[in-house]
Structure 1
Amino acid sequence: MADQVAVSHDVSKLVEKIKDIKIAMMTTIEHGNELHSRPMYTTEPEEDGTLWFFTEKDSQKVDEVQQDRHINLGYSDPSANTYVAITGTAQVVTDRAKIKELWNESLRGWFPNGSDDPNIALLRVTIDKGEFWDTPSSTLLRAYAYVKAVVTGERDQPSPDRQSVVIPS
């Protein structure tokens, strides 16, 4: 039987799930057909779901995004059993005012010249679709799922608050 997954148009659910997870695995398309993933630091997500990442203008990921704007982001917080997958489109932004607005001094390790570094760019990600799995780590819930599977032969079906597809409106 196929999974029954709730669909929502409330992107704030995704933002809430990832707001405290700072590192995402960003996957772009390399050479037209190969996937290329790397960890990226996410600045504070905007309420509308827009995600921002600092990068270098001359980086490989910028070249890849300019060839194909489709990207995937994977967020996980195993300690909270929270997992989020986002499909979106990326755009390279070199707006100096936006760079200064989003600048955080902890980024200086990657950009020693600060927010005025001429090689800084931003990747602006617009969410096309996202999916989250938010499974409580409760021993009781896992025991319930196990007993249900053994007794009935059925697996636990997450409720919409634990698994949902989000498609921004």
Structure 2
Amino acid sequence: MSEKSPVTHDLTQLFEKIKDVRIAMLTTTDEHGSLHSRPMGTIKPGKDDALYFLTDSESAKVYEIKKDSQVNLSYGDPGSNVYASVSGRANAYRDEAQIAELWSEPMRAWFPKGKEDPHITVLKITIDKAEYWDSPSSFLSQAYGYVRAVVTGERSKDDDVNQHAQVQPQ
């Protein structure tokens, strides 16, 4: 029987965990009902506790989101042992002021015309729920978890070497 992970309504810790994970896998549902995933560069969380991306208005993801707005974002950083799964509703729209705010020069690789490119679309993910896992990557932390398990016969708990929580915004 698995233990229930703690639940929080505060997105701050989730955003702190994923802030350095530059790429998320965005999963949508395609026209055949199959899951379709692709990498996306997270720009930043908004003041409204949503996640923002810039994308091309002609991309498959925009068409898929118009048919079914439910999406999932998966974040993973094996180097720091941080993982997160974010479920929510996506909305694709054009807002020139927001595009200018979210724009950075490296995005020119996808949008050579710059932030004035008429195909740039804001992709906003409003979070319904999320979950994250964070295990210290240091050898000593992992060794502690191992020794504890051997000595006690119990696996590590979230409060000793791992952090795991569900996030359900209000």
Question: Normalised by the size of structure 2, how large is the TM-score?
Answer: 0.92
Q: Which amino acid aligns with 2:155?
A: R
Q: Once superposed, which parts of structure 1, at least 4 consecutive aligned residues long, lie more than 4 Å away? A: none
What CA RMSD, in Å, does the superposition of the two structures yield over aligned residues?
1.6
Shift of 1:76: 1.4
Match of residue 157 from structure 1: 157
Instruction: Determine the structure 1 residue equivalent to 2:64.
Output: 64
Choose 22-31 or 151-160, whichever is displaced more. Answer: 151-160
TM superposition shift of 1:32: 4.8
SS, match of residue 80 in structure 1: coil
Shift of 1:140: 2.5
1-side partners of 2:93 and 2:58: how far apart? 13
Counterparts of 1:34-53 in structure 2, within 5 Å, are 34-53=34-53
Per-residue CA deviations over 1:84-122 (Å, capped at 9, x if unaligned) read 110111001111111112111110010001111111111
Aligned pairs, how many? 169
1:30 maps to: 30
Kindly provide the amino acid, as one letter, of the partner of residue 114 in structure 2.
Answer: G
1:26-50 C-alpha deviation (Å, 9 max, x unpaired): 1111125211000001112224421
- The CA deviation at 1:147 is 2.8
In structure 1, C-alpha distance between the alignment counterparts of 2:50 and 2:102, rounded to whole Å: 13
Supply the AA of the counterpart residue of 2:169. Answer: P
TM-score (norm 1): 0.93
1:10 aligned residue: 10
Give the AA of the match of 1:12: T
Q: Which runs of 5+ in 2 are unaligned?
A: none
Residue matched to 1:166: 167
1:11/1:48 contact within 8 Å kept: no
Who is 1:140 aligned against? 140
Distance, in Å, in 2 between the alignment partners of 1:71 and 1:55 is 15
In the TM superposition, 1:57-96 aligns within 5 A as 57-96=57-96
CA distance in 2, matches of 1:100, 1:86: 26
- SS, match of residue 107 in structure 1: helix
Structure 1: runs of 5 or more not aligned: none
Q: 1:103-150: per-residue Cα shift (whole Å, max 9, x none)?
A: 111100100011111111111001111111010113223223223333
Q: Quick one: distance in 2 between partners of 1:92 and 1:13?
A: 26
Code of the aligned partner of 2:163: R
- The yes-or-no answer on 1:55 pairing with 2:48 is no
Contact 1:148 1:156 in 2 (8 A): yes
Give the Cα–Cα distance (whole angstroms) in 1 for the partners of residues 6 and 12 of structure 2.
15
